[in-house]
Structure 1
Amino acid sequence: MSLALAVLVSGSGSNLQSIIDKVEAGALDADIRVVLSNKPDAYGLTRARTHGIPAVCLDHKRFDGREAFDAEMVRVIREHGADAVAMAGFMRMVTPVFLGAFPGRVVNIHPALLPSFPGVHGQADAAAYGVRFSGCTVHFVDEKMDHGPVIIQAVVPAYPEDDGDTLGARILAMEHRIYPQALQWLAEGRLRHAGRKVVVEGCGPCVALTGAGMVNPPLEPGF
């Protein structure tokens, strides 16, 4: 069954593009019903329109509080027939008003190996700390920042000369692979919660090595 998906963006939307590309390639069984941004100049809106996807901007500064803004996002998403949400560089925390509308159906990608380096500067924070490995995490969203149960993570090497930009580029290449994969598992109904842990049905305990790093659970064909 195709995943009726809304994608939330605040910036360039490169992860949105990776999702669109996998849908158009037939690897990701999703129908992107709407792309929504809180910033009118977000390039992600342009990406959506280029591919014939409805694009909506809701300026959060025009709403009286987070709950009012989230309620309007819920209305727009439902109006377009989506029942799952992918946050792809959406730089706002959502409230229970939003999460309660799509229980267990809101996911996010973060450019660090959670729970390390949460927040908006994950790549730069990891590089400044001097880690030897970093990566990215796809997780379910809860009421705390970058906190919900982990679906998939990818690991990449970090080098002493790295800054947030160079390390971030290495991480971003893996984001573009693991995020569509996680969404495909969601589309297939293969994600099961076991407390804080997420089990991917039909995926055994295996770590995959790729040319750029390491992924757990492993990527499947097409990703």
Structure 2
Amino acid sequence: MKKIAVFASGSGTNFQAIIDATKEGKLDCEISLLVCDQPGAKCIERAEQSSIPALVLSPKEFTSKAEYEARILQELEEKQVEFIALAGYMRLIGKTLLSSFEGKIVNIHPSLLPSFPGKDAIGQAFDAKVKVTGVTIHYVDEGMDTGPIIAQEAVKIDEMDTRYDLQKKIQKVEHQLYVNTLSNLFQ
């Protein structure tokens, strides 16, 4: 069984989908650690409710990105983590983690990359008045949402959709696509 870490910065709905899938036997892995860069984020509460250890670090407390990631790497090694799933983690992964987990870090992004990379992809798509957006799962490299794409699924934007409606549609797809993609990767 693969030992994974999930990195999250916010509410952690994708993290919860991964937790639920492991409990239901749909995802064959052990979530060994949550890494969070936002003290007080809802994902920390989700980890506690599922008895998953959480490493909560504020990057501002470190002198450099390398030092911050070295502290994370130390914890990942202690927990014997083999794979990292980013789930709403709002920081770019640097060389320290990339070199230690080359080809073993994936991210979920709420658009059909390469369209609408970066922050607020749902808002970007909504404001651009596109008819279709979606969800992308990709390997992580040094760029922002630029790594090789593993899976994508389109989400139609209806004329009457609000930004909130679109977010809910995207999240529904995310929760299924991420679990299915991780399951395939772990086989």
- Both proteins in one fold, TM over 0.5: yes
Cα-to-partner distance string for 1:63-118 (whole Å, 9 max, x where unaligned): 11211111111111111111100010000001111111111100000000000000
State how far apart, in whole Å, the 2-side matches of 1:65 and 1:93 are.
13
State how far apart, in whole Å, the 1-side matches of 2:159 and 2:91 are.
31
Q: Could you tell me which amino acid in structure 2 is paired with residue 126 of structure 1?
A: A
State how far apart, in whole Å, the 2-side matches of 1:36 and 1:125 are.
27
Q: Could you tell me which amino acid in structure 1 is paired with residue 183 of structure 2?
A: Q
Alpha-carbon shift at residue 162 of structure 1 (Å): 3.3
State how far apart, in whole Å, the 1-side matches of 2:101 and 2:37 are.
19
Q: How many residues align?
A: 187
* Mean Cα deviation higher: 142-151 or 70-79: 70-79
Aligned to 1:58: 57
State how far apart, in whole Å, the 1-side matches of 2:117 and 2:163 are.
14
Aligned to 2:20: 21
State how far apart, in whole Å, the 1-side matches of 2:147 and 2:2 are.
21
Higher relative contact order (CA 8 A, sep 6+): 2
Alpha-carbon shift at residue 165 of structure 1 (Å): 2.2
Cα-to-partner distance string for 1:114-135 (whole Å, 9 max, x where unaligned): 0000011100100110111111
State how far apart, in whole Å, the 2-side matches of 1:8 and 1:156 are.
25
Structure 1 segments unaligned to the other structure (5+ residues): 189-223
Aligned to 1:116: 115
Alpha-carbon shift at residue 159 of structure 1 (Å): 2.3
Is the partner of 2:100 in helix, strand or coil?
A: coil
State how far apart, in whole Å, the 1-side matches of 2:152 and 2:162 are.
21
Aligned to 1:138: 137
Matched, 1:153 2:129: no
Is the partner of 1:112 in helix, strand or coil?
A: coil
Matched, 1:70 2:69: yes
Cα-to-partner distance string for 1:23-82 (whole Å, 9 max, x where unaligned): 000010010001110111111111011111111101111011211111111111111111
Residues 161/65 of structure 1: CA separation in 2 closer, same or farther (3 Å cut): farther
Is the partner of 2:137 in helix, strand or coil?
A: strand
State how far apart, in whole Å, the 1-side matches of 2:72 and 2:90 are.
14
Which structure has greater helix proportion? Answer: 2
Q: Percent identity?
A: 37
Matched, 1:185 2:157: no
Q: Could you tell me which amino acid in structure 2 is paired with residue 33 of structure 1?
A: S
Kept in 2, the 8 Å contact 1:130–1:160? The answer is no
Q: Could you tell me which amino acid in structure 2 is paired with residue 18 of structure 1?
A: A
Q: Could you tell me which amino acid in structure 1 is paired with residue 48 of structure 2?
A: R
Kept in 2, the 8 Å contact 1:124–1:165? The answer is no
Aligned to 1:105: 104
State how far apart, in whole Å, the 2-side matches of 1:122 and 1:102 are.
26
